[in-house]
């Protein structure tokens, strides 16, 4: 048999498909992170965030 008659998946297509899946995952993660954060609080003595899913998270402490 010759190589032309051999059936199977093309390794180049497998690599391209894997890269597309990884890129979609990274973009989805970045989109989620962007949508998650609503407000950052950064004033002397206070710092924290207000997010849609976690609510209010404020830390009170001394300035560094």
CB 45 within 8 A of CB 63: yes
CB 56 within 8 A of CB 46: no
pLDDT in tens, 2-55: 556 667 889 899 999 999 999 999 999 888 777 666 777 777 877 777 777 667
pLDDT of residue 1: 47
CB 36 within 8 A of CB 52: yes
- Prediction pTM value: 0.49
């Amino acid at each position: 048999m010759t190589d032309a008659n051999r059936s199977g998946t093309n390794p180049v297509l497998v690599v391209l498909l894997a890269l597309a899946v990884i890129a979609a995952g990274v973009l989805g993660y970045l989109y989620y992170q962007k949508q998650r954060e609503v407000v950052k609080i950064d004033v002397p003595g206070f710092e924290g965030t207000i997010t849609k899913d976690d609510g209010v998270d404020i830390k009170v402490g001394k300035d560094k």
